[in-house]
Amino acid sequence: MTGSPTPQRPLVDSFGRRISYLRISVTDRCDFRCVYCMAEDMTFLPKKDVLSFEEVEAIASAFIARGTTKIRLTGGEPLVRRDIMALVRNLGGRIGNGLDELTITTNGSQLQKHAEGLFGAGVRRLNVSLDTLDEARFAQITRRGRLGDVLAGIGAAQAAGLAIKINMVAMRGVNDDEIETMMDWAHGGGMGLTLIEGMPLGEVGIDRVDTYLPLRELHDRLARRYSFTKLDKRTGGPARYVHVAETGGTLGFITPMSHNFCESCNRVRLTATGQLYLCLGQDDQVNLRDAWRNGGAAALDAALDHAMVIKPKGHDFVLDRTRAEPAVARHMSVTGG
C-alpha cells in the first residue's frame, strides 16, 4: 500500500487529531439480533430515509479529497443491503487514487455469496464479528443466526484471498469461558482475534453491568498461560495488539470502558441516513445528507469543517447500578460500532 499525497486542507480537529478513517454504515438492518447490539424487536429506518449509493459515494469522495485514506463499510450488516457490491466496486476503484484501503465489518452470514466479489473489488481484509464457536450459544447470542453459515463464509473468504480478523465481544458469564478456545481456533486458522469490551449503547434487554468484563482482567488471566509480546501494529482503529508465542498469532484488545483511546482518535462515523457522528460514545453530529442535497459539494465541504470544530475530546462511558440507562440511546447498529 502506498501513502496518499497530503491534501491541501486535511481534516484536523480542534485537538490536533487528523481524521483519516471514515466508517460508513450502509444500513441499520441486520439478519442477526445480537444481544449486546440490538433489541429483539427492532424498528428499522424507512428505506426512503437511507442514503442512496450515489450519495454515499459523493460523501466518501469529499472525505478522500480532505485526506481520508481508509474507509470501512459497516451496518447493521452491510452485506444484506441490496446491490451492495455496486458500492463496494465503486469505492474500491478509488484505491490508489486517494484511498489506501477499503475494508468491511460483517457478521459473516453472507460471505459465501460475496467473498470472491469483495476480493475482486479491491477489499483485502475483513473483520468478522463472532463471539462463540458453540452452536447453541451462538443461537442464543445472535437470537437467530446459524453458526454453520458464518464458518462456511469465513472459509469462502479465506479461499478468495481475504485476510480475516475475528472480533469477539467478551461477556462475563456468557462467553468468557471460551476465550482461549477462540484464540486457539482463530490463530490456528491464520486469523487474528480481537477482544472487545461491551459498551452501553441503546436498550438491548440484557444486564450490561452483570456481563461487563474489563479486558485488563482478561489480559492478566491469559498472560498467566500465554507469553505476550507487545506489538506496534496499527490497523487504523483503536485496538492494541500483542503477539502470542504459543499460538504464533495476534491478539487485540479494544477497551472503550476501562481504558479509552480517545487521545489518538482518527475516525468518524457516517450513518445510513447521512448523520456524521464525531464520537461513538457522544451525540455530537453533523447532517451531511442535508448539506449535500441542499448545497452540493461546497456545503458538504463546509459541513466537514464544522464537524472538525465540534468533534469532542472523548467519550465518558459509565456502567454501574446507579445509572441503568445506556450512555447513548442509539443502538450499536446505527453507527456500526
Q: What is d(CA 25, CA 66) in angstroms, rounded to the nearest whole number?
A: 20
Residue 326: the pLDDT is 43
pLDDT, tens digit (0-9, with 9 covering 90-100), for 137-195: 999 999 989 999 999 999 999 999 999 999 999 999 999 999 999 999 999 999 999 99
269 has binding-site annotation: yes
Count of domains for the chain: 1
The strand pair at 249-254 and 240-244 is best described as antiparallel
Establish whether 30 is an annotated binding residue: yes
What's the pLDDT at 318? 45
Give the torsion through C-alpha atoms of 167, 191, 164, 154, to 10 deg. -90
- Is 199 annotated in some ligand binding site? yes
The confidence score (pLDDT) of residue 118 equals 98
Three-class SS of the chain: CCCCCCCCCCCECCCCCECCEEEEECCCCCCCCCCCCCCCCCCCCCHHHCCCHHHHHHHHHHHHHCCCCEEEEECCCHHHCCCHHHHHHHHHCCECCCECEEEEEECCCCHHHHHHHHHHCCCCEEEEECCCCCHHHHHHHHCCCCHHHHHHHHHHHHHCCCEEEEEEEEECCCCHHHHHHHHHHHHHCCCEEEEEECCCECCCCCCHHHHECCHHHHHHHHHCCCCEEECCCCCCCCCEEEEECCCCEEEEEECCCCCCCHHHCCEEEECCCCEEECCCCCCCEEEHHHHHHHHHHHHHHHHHHHHHHHCCCCCCCCCECCECCCCECCCHHHHCC
Residue 14 lies in a domain: no
Does 23 appear as a known binding residue? yes
Domain presence at residue 2? no
Q: Is 262 one of the annotated binding-site residues?
A: yes
* Cis peptide leading into residue 76 (ω within 30°): yes
16 is in an annotated binding site: no
Range of the domain at 160: 21-335
Residue/partner pairs of 319-326 with CB below 8 Å, 24 or more apart:
319/200, 319/208, 319/209, 319/212, 319/257, 320/209, 321/209, 325/203, 326/200, 326/201, 326/202, 326/203, 326/208
In the numeric block, the cell 472525505 is attached to 63
The confidence score (pLDDT) of residue 199 equals 63
Please indicate if the annotation marks 17 as binding a ligand.
no
Nearest Cα to Cα of residue 21 among 61, 71, 57: 71
pTM: 0.88
Q: Is residue 119 part of a domain?
A: yes
Q: What is the CA radius of gyration of the chain?
A: 19
Nearest-angstrom CA–CA distance, 254 and 259: 9
Annotated binding-site residue? 36? yes
What is residue 291's predicted lDDT score, i.e. its pLDDT? 97
What pLDDT score does 317 carry?
44
CA distance 125 to 103: 6
Grid cell 464525531 is found at 278
Judge whether 34 is annotated as a binding position: yes
- Residue 1 located in a structural domain: no
Residue 274, annotated as binding a ligand = no
76 labeled binding residue? yes
pLDDT at position 324, please? 47
pLDDT digits (tens, 9 = 90+) for 240-254: 999 999 999 999 999
Q: What is the C-alpha to C-alpha distance for residues 122 and 101, in angstroms, rounded to an integer?
A: 8
Whether 171 maps to a domain, the answer reads yes
Q: Is residue 81 part of a domain?
A: yes
CATH of residue 321's domain is: 3.20.20.70
Residue 279 marked in a binding site? yes
Decide if 170 is inside a domain: yes
Residue 308 is assigned to a ligand binding site: no
> Residue 176: its pLDDT value, please?
95
Question: Is position 267 annotated in a ligand binding site?
Answer: yes
Residue 16, sorted as left (phi over 0), alpha (psi -120 to 50) or beta, turns out to be left
pLDDT tens, residue order, the chain (337 aa): 455 566 779 999 999 999 999 999 999 999 999 888 888 888 888 988 899 999 999 999 999 999 999 999 999 999 999 999 999 999 999 999 999 999 999 999 999 999 999 999 999 999 999 999 999 999 999 998 999 999 999 999 999 999 999 999 999 999 999 999 999 999 999 999 999 987 654 454 555 567 888 889 999 999 999 999 999 876 666 789 999 999 999 999 998 655 555 777 899 999 999 999 998 777 889 999 999 999 999 999 999 999 999 998 875 544 444 444 544 444 455 566 5
Set of cell numbers at residue 23? 466508517
